[in-house]
Amino acid sequence: MSKAQSTPTRKPTDAEARFAEYFAARQAEGAPQLAELRTAAFDAFAKTGLPNRHDEAWKYTDLRALLRDVKPLAAPPEQSAKEAARQAGRLPGVDARRIVFVGGYFAPELSDLAALENGLSVAPLSQALAQGDSAATALLGKVGKIDDPAFALNTAFMGEGVVIRVAAGKQIERPIHLVFVAGPKPASYFLRSLVVVEKGARASLIESFEGAGTPEEYLVNAATELLLEEGARLERIKIGREGSAAMHVSTFVASLAAEARLDDFALNLGGALLRNQSFVSLEGRAAHAGVRGANILSGKQHADATLFLDHAAERSESKALFKSVLNGSSQAVFQGKILVRPGAQKTDARMMARALLLSEGAQANCKPELEIFADDVQCAHGSTVGAMDDALMFYLMARGIPAPEAEALLIEAFVGEALDAVESHSLREALAGLVAERLRG
Amino acid sequence: MTALLEIRDLKAEIAGKQILNGYDLTVKPGEVHAIMGPNGSGKSTLSYVLSGRPGYKVTGGQALLAGADLAQMTVDERAAAGLFLAFQYPLEVPGVATMTFLRAALNAQRKKRGEEEMSSPDLIKRVKELAKILDMDMEMLRRPVNVGFSGGEKKRAETLQMMLLEPKLCILDEADSGLDIDALKVVSNGVNQLRSKDRGIVVITHYQRLLDYITPDVVHVQSAGRIVRTGGKELALELEETGYARYQSEAA
């Protein structure tokens, strides 16, 4: 993965200096259980600094150049911000257990932690640590071996988030919806969650990032670690609706045991600069990971989806499909790497990235990679970049559909190919609704 | 009475090549016209120019739909004004559900005309009625538009759209291509149901066969981008006998 090539003598950028300053100030406080982990993570970050275009994994998203300034770490939100967040992120038609964070802090009055289903435990990270959840402490930062500066920064600064555990064999029907609402002021948020789905259990998780009401610059660095035990299943939906000047960097680390199944879908609609990086390890036999996403971008938005699928066991399957719709001078990046380790025979891995360019100035970069160390596998990857189909536009318009609506229908169809994989009908409809709203709003 | 379609000395080109060379045609309400002609005589071009397909450029003359200049309208405005082109090769639209497409088309047209939109239950009911007439399985209409349809199924779907949208002027571009005899009968039956005193129908076809089922009031022979002969339905039979050779040489 990322191997930074910084010279030790390089003068830190302003942003790097600011991180060092914040970290020194932060060390005094915070949960003592994590002090060692944080320090190690910050040291690892400090060694490389912010990643830049010379780091292969960050080639198209030069964070060192892009992150000029670091806003102060978030302070507890005012009551008005909480009030404003009451409806944030609600998905029509979806009955979910909402766990709301405002300006980086848990908002108990907006959250529903009552009457948790039998076998489900959900706690804010701060609370889990304060109560000495040693299992959580032991797992944090350990779900995968991730050598990445953005993830290291998250570990060093991790603030609030949740610890979710689903007990073996339990099927939790009602989705758990983590709503992260940006505060009204410029700030930096470091959000961290840990999800463990025990043997044979099943759950559904939504993470949405809401900042549509905030024109200010802010930084979100979010990370979710997921452990799926044998035969466990999780459907995860990530929705990005950050503010127009927001920078959002998120890391998803998942480890799948035998016959576990992950279905992940990320929809990006907002924000100025987005980086979604996923590290998915298929550790057990016949594990299955569906990793999909869609970006709908305009103006100067930049969205980077970087995916690492690590097949470490026999008969594991991965299906990756990413769709980007680009208008204005927006940019989409897709980097996907499939690694098939020795012995991971009968791996079936498929990866596809498609971009639809609606304007001259839009740009899509796709970089799929395969690295295979087993001989009996099926792996395929591909990418396409195309424009709107004029013949189809004419056909729709010849039936009386005006150009903007015809275009919206065709874009929805394009995105739909990825969205159709979302198993829950209500979630799929809600996501389609967000896409429709973005296209017509 | 205002003509439904009035084409006067229309000239049009694509990619700098002139295809229509002074085209004249008048279709009155209630009439069914057949336009016949050899391949390459510009029959499809006429339908594309009238419907406003990008790339086709009008360089002279005029085409009026119920008195309104088509050149001043966008493609969707022409449709809302009552022009319907049944495509020779209807397109597959992956990912767009047929019902979504039909609802979007019908209600966009109604909205533009200042009419009330049709509710979803009414739409479904109407589509079911039409599917029955056209011998189509409703299951097909639950699929994305035309996806995986055979040539004949596409033509039935195209006819269903036309019947649902109730245009003033229907232009059928090679409606019989790709149809077996059973499908041809079904599609023709649908078209015949659309015949009315207020509506005009223009059937573009290479073969006389279709005209056994859709009987035209007027038959035109088109060659080299204009109409070279006009007659009654017996003209179609004559063409079947003699072929297009003499019209091709006449034009040359």
What pLDDT is stored for residue A416 in this prediction? Answer: 94
| A432 interaction partners in chain B (CB closer than 8 Å) | none
Q: How far apart are CA B72 and CA B60, in angstroms?
A: 14
Contact residues, chain A to chain B, C-beta under 8 Å: 390-392, 394-403, 405-406, 409-410, 412-414, 416-417
Residues A319-332 have a mean pLDDT of: 97
Beta-carbon separation of A403 and B76 below 8 A: yes
What pLDDT is stored for residue A30 in this prediction? Answer: 64
Tell me the pLDDT tens digit for each residue of A138-148. 999 999 999 99
Beta-carbon separation of B79 and A392 below 8 A: no
Beta-carbon separation of B93 and A417 below 8 A: no
What pLDDT is stored for residue A34 in this prediction? Answer: 85
Q: How confident is the model at residue A26 (pLDDT cuts 50, 70, 90)?
A: confident
- List Cβ neighbours of A73 (8 Å cut-off, separation of 6 or more): A22, A26, A157, A159, A187, A188, A190
Q: How far is A413 from chain B (nearest CA, A)?
A: 4
What pLDDT is stored for residue A262 in this prediction? Answer: 98
Tell me the pLDDT tens digit for each residue of B114-164. 999 999 999 999 999 999 999 999 999 999 999 999 988 999 999 999 999
What pLDDT is stored for residue B232 in this prediction? Answer: 93
| A407 interaction partners in chain B (CB closer than 8 Å) | none
Choose among A399, A403, A410: nearest Cβ to B79.
A399
Residues paired with A366 in a beta bridge:
A334
User: Which of A67, A74, A86 shows the shortest CA–CA distance to A22?
Assistant: A74
Residues A413-439 have a mean pLDDT of: 95
Q: Does residue A228 contact residue A261 with C-beta atoms inside 8 Å?
A: yes
What pLDDT is stored for residue B178 in this prediction? Answer: 78
What pLDDT is stored for residue B252 in this prediction? Answer: 41
Compute and round to an integer the Cα radius of gyration of chain B. Answer: 18
Beta-carbon separation of B104 and A413 below 8 A: no
Choose among A392, A397, A413: nearest Cβ to B75.
A397
Which long-range CB contacts under 8 A does A64-70 form with residues at least 24 apart? Answer: A64/A13, A64/A15, A64/A16, A66/A247, A66/A273, A67/A13, A67/A15, A67/A219, A67/A247, A68/A13, A68/A14, A68/A15, A69/A14, A69/A15, A69/A18, A69/A217, A70/A14, A70/A15, A70/A18, A70/A19, A70/A22, A70/A188, A70/A219
Task: Please give the C-alpha separations between residue A196 and each of A39, A167, A222, A257, B62, in angstroms, as whole numbers.
Answer: 25, 8, 17, 12, 71
- List Cβ neighbours of B172 (8 Å cut-off, separation of 6 or more): B86, B191, B201, B202, B203, B204, B205
The pairing of beta strand B200-205 with beta strand B169-173: parallel
Q: How far apart are CA B85 and CA A391, in angstroms?
A: 14
- Mutation choice for A interface testing from B56, B73, B76, B89 by most A CBs within 10 A: B76
Q: How confident is the model at residue A227 (pLDDT cuts 50, 70, 90)?
A: very high
Which pair of tokens denotes residue A348?
Answer: 């079936």
Tell me the pLDDT tens digit for each residue of B179-227. 888 889 988 999 999 999 999 999 999 888 899 999 999 999 999 999 9
Q: How far apart are CA A167 and CA B39, in angstroms?
A: 71
Provide the ipTM: 0.96
Choose among B75, B109, B161: nearest Cβ to A394.
B75
Indicate if the alpha-carbon torsion angle A66, A68, A74, A78 is positive or negative. negative
Chain CA centroid to CA A269, Å: 13
Q: How far apart are CA A252 and CA B173, in angstroms?
A: 54
pLDDT tops 90 at residue A32: no
| A396 interaction partners in chain B (CB closer than 8 Å) | 93, 101, 104-105
pLDDT tops 50 at residue A1: no
Helix (H) or strand (E) holding A202: strand A202-210
Helix (H) or strand (E) holding B22: strand B17-27
- List Cβ neighbours of A17 (8 Å cut-off, separation of 6 or more): none
Beta-carbon separation of B75 and A412 below 8 A: no
| Distance from the first to the final alpha carbon of chain B | 36
Q: How far is B126 from chain A (nearest CA, A)?
A: 17
DSSP letters, A355-384, are EEE-STT-EEEEEEEEEE--SS-EEEEEEE
- List Cβ neighbours of A428 (8 Å cut-off, separation of 6 or more): A419, A420, A422
Which pair of tokens denotes residue A252?
Answer: 């998803």
Helix (H) or strand (E) holding B200: strand B200-205
Phi, psi of B114 (to 5 degrees): 75, 25
Chain B residue nearest residue A394, CA to CA: B53
| B54 interaction partners in chain A (CB closer than 8 Å) | 390, 394
Q: How far apart are CA A341 and CA A344, in angstroms?
A: 6
| A435 interaction partners in chain B (CB closer than 8 Å) | none
Chain A residue nearest residue B171, CA to CA: A398
Beta-carbon separation of A400 and B101 below 8 A: no
Q: Does residue A180 contact residue A206 with C-beta atoms inside 8 Å?
A: no
Average pLDDT, chain B: 92
Tell me the pLDDT tens digit for each residue of A342-365. 999 999 999 999 999 999 999 999
Residues paired with A181 in a beta bridge:
A102, A210
Matching residue, tokens 């982990």: A37
Choose among B51, B96, B144: nearest Cβ to A398.
B51
Beta-carbon separation of A410 and B94 below 8 A: no
What pLDDT is stored for residue B180 in this prediction? Answer: 86
What pLDDT is stored for residue A10 in this prediction? Answer: 85
pLDDT tops 70 at residue B233: yes
DSSP letters, A226-261, are EEE-TT-EEEEEEEEE--TT-EEEEEEEEEE-TT-E
Beta-carbon separation of A392 and B91 below 8 A: yes
Residues A79-107 have a mean pLDDT of: 95
pLDDT tops 70 at residue A185: yes
Choose among B93, B96, B108: nearest Cβ to A400.
B108
Residues paired with B79 in a beta bridge:
none
Residues A88-112 have a mean pLDDT of: 96
Contact residues, chain B to chain A, C-beta under 8 Å: 51-54, 74-76, 78-80, 85, 87, 90-91, 93-96, 100-101, 104-106, 108-109, 112, 144, 161, 165
Matching residue, tokens 């003699």: B242
Residues A409-426 have a mean pLDDT of: 95
What pLDDT is stored for residue B88 in this prediction? Answer: 92
Q: Does residue A315 contact residue A349 with C-beta atoms inside 8 Å?
A: no
Which DSSP state fits B97? Answer: B
Q: How far apart are CA B211 and CA A81, in angstroms?
A: 72
What pLDDT is stored for residue A178 in this prediction? Answer: 98
pLDDT tops 60 at residue A409: yes
Domains of chain B: 5-251 (3.40.50.300)
Q: How far is B4 from chain A (nearest CA, A)?
A: 18
| A392 interaction partners in chain B (CB closer than 8 Å) | 91, 93
pLDDT tops 50 at residue A335: yes
Q: How confident is the model at residue B39 (pLDDT cuts 50, 70, 90)?
A: confident
| Distance from the first to the final alpha carbon of chain A | 39
